[in-house]
């Protein structure tokens, strides 16, 4: 996504037209995030790719890995502030030998594609963020996300802890599958709600295909 982005906030959730990947992007190396990965180091690697005009693709399997990945994305946004850059990320399920056949099993791999985006406020809260817990059903949360996007309402989810963050990202990915029939893709921007808190919020955006 270039800095001359076509994102446009209507009454609520931002909508943009999808752009085709630039040459070489489809062959980018996937970064695999582990539960022991250091978020600051992953964030630095993402930032370097974005500064170079590339995309970043990250895989995470399981709550601990997903938690570290989302932390890294939130931290990366702060690293890019001095470059007047920002990022958006699109989640999806990819096939895993240990995951379910439909790509939504507990051990499924969550893949996030990260692209450059024009600089925006680090924290863009919706009026009523959805709280996701470790016991939440991602499909139910996904349905609520899809409903808000279709209604052009601001939409975000908050999560604290590895299991909750994992469920939150699964919900955003599943919402993307629900909205594909509307020719929409789902993206998000993560941030720490408070500098002194570990509470993460994922602000949801939508994109025309």
- Provide the pLDDT for residue 28: 59
Percent pLDDT > 70 in the chain is 81
- Provide the pLDDT for residue 26: 46
- Provide the pLDDT for residue 2: 31
**Is residue 13 classed as helix, strand or coil in its secondary structure?**
coil
The model's pLDDT over 80-129, given as tens digits with 9 standing for 90+, comes to 998 999 999 999 999 865 544 444 444 579 999 999 998 888 888 777 89
b/e burial code for range 80-107 (CB count within 10 A of at least 16 → b): beeeebbbbbbbbbeeeeebeeebeeee
Indicate the DSSP class of residue 22.
P
CA-wise closest residue to 59 among 37, 85, 75, 80:
37
Q: Cβ neighbours of residue 26 under 8 Å, at least 6 residues apart?
A: none
Written as tens digits, the pLDDT of the chain (209 aa) is 332 233 333 334 444 444 444 434 444 589 999 999 999 999 999 999 999 999 999 999 999 999 999 999 999 999 999 899 999 999 999 986 554 444 444 457 999 999 999 888 888 877 789 999 999 999 999 999 999 999 999 899 999 999 999 999 999 999 999 999 999 999 999 999 988 889 999 999 988 87
């Amino acid at each position: 996504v270039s800095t001359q982005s076509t994102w446009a906030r209507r009454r609520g959730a931002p909508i943009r037209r999808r752009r085709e990947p630039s040459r070489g992007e489809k062959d980018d190396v996937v970064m695999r995030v582990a539960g022991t990965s250091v978020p600051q180091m992953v964030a630095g690697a993402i930032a370097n790719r974005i500064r170079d005009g590339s995309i970043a693709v990250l895989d995470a399997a399981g709550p601990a890995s997903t938690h570290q990945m989302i932390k890294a994305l939130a931290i990366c946004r702060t690293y890019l502030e001095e470059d007047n850059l920002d990022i958006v990320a699109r989640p999806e399920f990819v096939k895993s030998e240990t995951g379910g056949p439909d790509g939504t099993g507990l051990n499924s791999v969550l893949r996030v594609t990260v692209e450059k985006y024009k600089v925006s406020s680090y924290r863009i809260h919706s009026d009523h963020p959805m709280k996701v817990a470790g016991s939440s059903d991602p499909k139910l949360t996904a349905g609520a996300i899809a409903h808000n996007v279709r209604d052009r309402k601001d939409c975000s989810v908050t999560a604290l802890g590895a299991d909750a963050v994992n469920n939150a990202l699964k919900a955003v990915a599943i919402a993307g599958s629900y909205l594909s029939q509307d020719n929409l893709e789902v993206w998000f921007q993560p941030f720490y709600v408070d500098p002194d808190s570990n509470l993460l919020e994922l602000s949801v955006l939508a994109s025309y295909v």
